[in-house]
Structure 1
Amino acid sequence: MVGAFVGAFVLLMLSAFTSVLAGGPLGTKRELVNASYEAVAGECLDWTKADLSDAKKVDCSAAHKFEVTGIADITGAYPKEAPFPNAEAWEKIAQEQCAQAATTYMSGKLDPEGKYGVSTLNPDEHRWSEGYRQLRCGLQVAAPSGAALPSFGSAKTQDQSNVYDPGVCVALGEKNTVGDPVECAQPHAFEIIGVVQHPEGEFLAPEKQDAIMSEKCAAIAAEYTGGADLKARGLLVTWDTRSEKSWAVGSRKANCKVGAVPQGENLVAWKDSVRNPNGAPLTTSNPPQTTSVKPQDEPTGAPLHSESGKPSESGKPSESGRPDKSSESGKPTTTSENR
């Protein structure tokens, strides 16, 4: 046992460089034994409270928000008198201490564009002032905003493809990016209608993936919508492709989705669902990843970004979230957005 601790953390998402300041001012009377200070590599953690004060170890087969990949001690670089790191310093520390730990934990097969992002659980200012210098490195499934999505099963054994289940709608984010899952009644960029599994073997060039996805997504759309006339609604079928570096670590799944006809290079938000209400039940993963992201209890502040000014590629919006081309015909087209 590590002992009794006041439970508040800084949760730093390397994948989006989003700093989440969990919790408010420290309560002077509240002392908790927090599992996050005891977890070791291979263990999974879950919590419901924004300040992580109810964090607990769970079996990795159950829903969880963090899978520990290692423990890093930064005492050598940050002795007791060292000031509490700012957001930029935490980003640098996390990159230096946890990026390689994640790759090693995954035996070199971590998809840089997959659903798992490298994360850290860091001590808060109170613990820092007492000289605590250990970080928990880990992996999380995160929405583009950085909000944690439920993960099921160890990352070591799961397909890392950056996909959602059929029936999930994803918001239109700022600057023409794809945002978090939302209810389909709300404005959104895409509705996921199905997932295609590419075969094992050598990497398929994007044009070959397009040929496969065009045919399969058209069939999926016909079944999902009950043969609805999408063009009449200003909608079209589109899909994702997998990059060579994702393919190399085994990611073979890609989304089929429906979106509004773009205006030039700009995505267009639309409302409601195109699913046939009398259609067959949806085929989802087990357990499914179908819920919209619950807003954080406290504002998280502006996201941090890498030196390039862009989020990293692991499950976050990027230039690839923009349409390659528009289609006035309503025929299937493609984007390389990674969700």
Structure 2
Amino acid sequence: MLGAFAGAFALLALSTFTSWPVGAGGSLSGGSTQVNPVLTAQAGDCLNWTRQDLADVAKVDCAAQHLFEVTGVVDISSSHGPQAPFPDDAQWQQVSQEHCTKVSMDFLGGRFDPFGKYTVGPLNPGERLWGEGQRTLRCGLQVAGPAGGLLPAYGSARTQDQSDVYDPGVCLGITEARSVGDPVECAKPHTFEIVGVVPMPPGDYPAPEQQDQLLAGECDRIAKEYTGGADLKARNLVVTWDTRAPESWAAGSRLTNCKVGAVPTDGLVAWEGSVRNPDAPPLTTSNPPQTTTVRQDEPTGAPLHSASNTESSSAAPPSSNPESASSAPTSTTETSASR
């Protein structure tokens, strides 16, 4: 069991190194100072902010929109004494791996999808508080887009299906390197438009070929309904989908996306506009989508084919084969914040 956990720890994506705002909270009447909510946050608490410098960070109900779910509090003073310089990105990544991976895995009960939507990282004290001797970190989970941008989360990660899926109507941008980017408006250049979310059938892990057989027919049906039967070939577009890896299946991830993209030519090709049937009802949801940057102002019902707000029906233990999982990629993203 210890060996399996060690392998799982190496898979945790080391993502966002976010600094506490020094003066968040402002002053209360009577001259007292409001306590920074980060200083009192404990495992299971969720934090949200709208300002880039995190000056308006606040503790919120995890059912509401949030950007950080605390998985544990760690003290790194034993390895970073009073004279230690403020860590750079590579050092923060090491700190995260040494201190945040275990507490985050414990928080999730050992169920973590290394290819899923959640990433692990520390909420660090920033250079000023670090210089004053602060060595306490909040470890936590965040949802990041393909290019590393933070996306809002809804609900505790403990109860969510961790599949890296987006709701119908979301378009994923394109990076300068012609890889998949973060969600953008569909009028802008993008790689894919999500047309549906498909729950995979329960049971043993299906090989990629089996997943392809299932999703080929299902995604074709969903795409025809989503587009109103539009001729995608005439626009040089094709229907495609994502498959699940064994490590994801072992963590209980059972959702996958059907999507439309341009026919590739030596890599991904950007295209503009939406293929959705303009006469179809609005794609809205009674609960905000978990992994889209697009918010609905007047929710009226569940989005077509979307199961992104349901809990996972299976919570299998992490893979016991760390060798097969060791090739999982990690990502390093830094959120700009006041230091």
**CA-CA distance at 1:313 after TM superposition:** 6.9
Give 2:55's aligned residue.
53
**CA-CA distance at 1:224 after TM superposition:** 0.5
Quick one: which of 109, 112, 116 aligns to 1:110?
Answer: 112
How many residues are paired up?
285
**CA-CA distance at 1:149 after TM superposition:** 1.0
| Counterpart-to-counterpart distance in 2, 1:153 and 1:262 | 36
| TM-score, length basis structure 2 | 0.78
Amino acid at match of 2:288: P
Instruction: Please say if 1:286 is aligned against 2:304.
Output: no
Instruction: Please say if 1:312 is aligned against 2:322.
Output: no
8 Å CA contact retained: 1:196, 1:254 = yes
| Counterpart-to-counterpart distance in 2, 1:283 and 1:35 | 32
| Counterpart-to-counterpart distance in 1, 2:181 and 2:126 | 29
8 Å CA contact retained: 2:15, 2:331 = no
C-alpha root-mean-square deviation of aligned residues, in Å?
Answer: 2.7
Instruction: Please say if 1:272 is aligned against 2:273.
Output: yes
**CA-CA distance at 1:280 after TM superposition:** 3.6
Give 2:5's aligned residue.
none
| Counterpart-to-counterpart distance in 1, 2:284 and 2:55 | 36
8 Å CA contact retained: 1:111, 1:314 = no
8 Å CA contact retained: 2:46, 2:62 = yes
Q: Structure 1 residues 259 and 215 mapped into 2: Cα distance closer, same or farther (>3 Å)?
A: same
Quick one: which of 230, 238, 241 aligns to 2:240?
Answer: 238
Q: Structure 1 residues 98 and 285 mapped into 2: Cα distance closer, same or farther (>3 Å)?
A: farther
Structure 1 gaps of 5+ residues are 1-13, 294-307, 316-339
Instruction: Please say if 1:165 is aligned against 2:163.
Output: no
Give CA deviations for 1:119-168 in whole Å, capped at 9, x if unaligned.
21001111111111000000011113332211111000011110000000
**CA-CA distance at 1:314 after TM superposition:** 11
Give 2:90's aligned residue.
88
Give 1:226's aligned residue.
228
| TM-score, length basis structure 1 | 0.78
| Counterpart-to-counterpart distance in 2, 1:310 and 1:100 | 17
Structure ranking higher in helix proportion: 2
Q: Structure 1 residues 51 and 314 mapped into 2: Cα distance closer, same or farther (>3 Å)?
A: closer
**CA-CA distance at 1:309 after TM superposition:** 12
Give 2:204's aligned residue.
202
**CA-CA distance at 1:16 after TM superposition:** 5.8
Give CA deviations for 1:219-269 in whole Å, capped at 9, x if unaligned.
0011000000000001010000011110111101000000000003x0100
8 Å CA contact retained: 2:173, 2:182 = yes
**CA-CA distance at 1:32 after TM superposition:** 6.0
Relative contact order (alpha carbons < 8 A, sep ≥ 6): 1 or 2 greater? 2
Amino acid at match of 2:280: G
Amino-acid identity (%):
55
| Counterpart-to-counterpart distance in 2, 1:128 and 1:309 | 34
| Counterpart-to-counterpart distance in 2, 1:81 and 1:60 | 37
| Counterpart-to-counterpart distance in 2, 1:139 and 1:251 | 17
**Secondary structure in 2 aligned to 1:286?**
coil
